[in-house]
């Protein structure tokens, strides 16, 4: 980093204490820890996004189904047509 700038932010006390603990564990200053975390968040957005998805839904599974066949599509269209006509008569 070539130039340094001062940034004043307001964060919850709990978050500040977590960052302070991480800085102590990493043997660096609070400022260095925040700077590193901010830089990391902009350096790899794809990795951060996938991590958020994993954290957001750890027990969710996605079922991938095959697309409808032409025969199934025709049958579905017929059913929709019949139900559409029946609905208009009422």
pLDDT in tens, the chain (90 residues): 568 889 899 999 999 999 999 999 999 999 999 999 998 888 865 554 555 555 666 677 777 888 889 999 999 999 998 877 776 654
> Is 79 a member of any domain?
no
pLDDT of residue 41: 85
pLDDT of residue 48: 47
> Is 3 a member of any domain?
no
**How far lies 41's CA from each of 11, 47, 81, in Å?**
17, 9, 52
Range of the domain at 20: 11-44
- Residue 20: name the closest of 12, 42, 55, 43 by CA: 12
> Is 54 a member of any domain?
no
> Is 2 a member of any domain?
no
pLDDT of residue 61: 74
- Residue 32: name the closest of 46, 14, 74, 40 by CA: 40
pLDDT of residue 20: 94
> Is 84 a member of any domain?
no
> Is 61 a member of any domain?
no
> Is 50 a member of any domain?
no
* Geometric angle at alpha carbon 57, from 59 and 10, rounded to 5°: 145
The pair phi, psi for residue 84, each rounded to 5°, is -65, -40
pLDDT of residue 85: 76
Q: How many domains, the chain?
A: 1
pLDDT of residue 64: 82
């Amino acid at each position: 980093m070539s130039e340094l700038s001062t940034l004043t932010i307001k964060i919850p006390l709990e978050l500040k204490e977590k960052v302070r603990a991480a800085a102590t564990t990493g043997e660096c200053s609070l400022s260095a820890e925040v700077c590193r975390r901010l830089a990391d968040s902009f350096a790899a957005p794809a990795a951060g996004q996938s991590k958020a998805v994993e954290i957001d839904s750890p027990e969710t599974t996605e079922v991938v189904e095959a697309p409808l066949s032409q025969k199934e599509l025709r049958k579905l269209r017929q059913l929709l047509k019949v139900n559409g006509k029946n609905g208009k008569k009422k």
